[in-house]
Amino acid sequence: MKLTEKLSQSKKTLFSIEILPPLKGKSIQSIYDGIDPLMEFKPAFVDVTYHREEYVYKKREGGYLEKVSIRKRPGTVGICAAIMNKYNVDAVPHIICGGFTREETENALIDLQFLGVDNVLALRGDSIKTEPNFVPEPGGHAYGLDLVKQIGTMNKGQYMDDEMKDAEPTNFCIGIAGYPEKHFEAPNMFSDMKYLKAKIDAGADYIVTQMFFDNKKFFEFVQLCRDNGITVPIIPGLKILTSKKQLTALPKIFHIDLPQPFYEELEKCKDDKQVKEAGIKWCIEQSKELLKANVPCLHYYTMGTSDTTRRVAKEVF
């Protein structure tokens, strides 16, 4: 079912989660172990992230170094099919531009349509870890906007081969990313908003936000979207902070701030156990305030572990 239909039919705030594919060599059971304990909260959908290749240098005979491309995690098509089959819940694969030609994207979308996947989250994707900037694949897309346009075109029954006759249109509900604290490459919020609106105009149906720890920033972002004529549902993305390391790692990786009162609480913590408790408490408070504001859905970045999300969900739903 399309998420937008699900959201509009629900009278209350929904619950959803995001998981990442297991490392290659691990079984699908590791995914189920992360989802099983959360099923009692009836997730409206399960997002599955996409992780592109990395480059590593391998020492070869004679001492020379060979640059090798490796992918540590499998793609999303199989995992989404397995989740939908086991739980009868909508799985939402993240589709990225990075590393894909337009034709490969088209083929993946056709597979997803055959499997009954109704929703996709269309993203540009991160740059390769060892590269400073995002580089599009030759024949691929440079921006999320171009990917949204491609899916929108397939939804009209137009594929890359323009000689195709009577092609069945796909019927994807298209999600996109939004950044309450601005995407780090955007020179300012005005320009970020301009491109966000362009993606909506090109056919995107809903927005899921980057994680944030300060609800004020989310509320301001929603208002800014509405002021700019963006009327689609905006789903807040929430992460539970669980370790001291994340105090600096999350701001660095995701370009977000930790609000001062939260930071002061975390500073008092002696170890990761205490940080985890403070993180759960903060996320419960955040969630309850967002719930009061009638957000359409609370989306939790579980990163494959369920214990902390379960404790939050028990208090909130």
Contact residues for ligand FAD, defined by CB under 6 A: 49-50, 52, 94, 96, 123-126, 143-145, 177, 183, 185-186, 191-192, 195, 208, 210, 237
Least CB distance to ligand FAD at residue 163 (A): 29
Residues linked to residue 206 through DSSP beta bridges, in sequence order: 175
CB 183 to ligand FAD: min, Å: 4
Cα separations (Å) of 11 from 67, 118, 296, 297? 53, 21, 9, 11
Distance in Å, CB of 276 to ligand FAD, minimum: 23
**Which amino acid, residue 84?**
M
Q: Which CB atom, from 49 or from 242, has the smaller least distance to ligand FAD?
A: 49
Contact 178, 223 (CB under 8 A): no
Distance in Å, CB of 100 to ligand FAD, minimum: 11
Q: Which is nearer to ligand FAD, 136 or 277 (CB)?
A: 136
The overall longest dimension of the chain from CA atoms, in Å, is: 67
Beta bridge pairs of residue 54:
70
Instruction: Give the nearest distance from C-beta 175 to ligand FAD in angstroms.
Output: 8
Q: Tell me the pairing of strands 14-19 and 45-48.
A: parallel
Cβ proximity to ligand FAD, 192 vs 265, nearer residue: 192
Instruction: Give the shortest CB-251-to-ligand FAD separation in angstroms.
Output: 14
Comparing CB distances to ligand FAD, the nearer of 94 and 276 is 94
Pick the closer one to ligand FAD by CB: 206 or 282.
206
Residue keyed to tokens 């985890």: 276
Which residue has the CB atom at the shortest distance from ligand FAD? 144
Of the candidates 78, 71, 96, the one whose C-alpha atom is nearest the C-alpha of residue 27 is: 78
Q: Which is nearer to ligand FAD, 232 or 275 (CB)?
A: 232
- 3-class SS of residue 63: helix
Neighbouring C-alpha atoms within 13 Å toward the C-beta of 61: 0
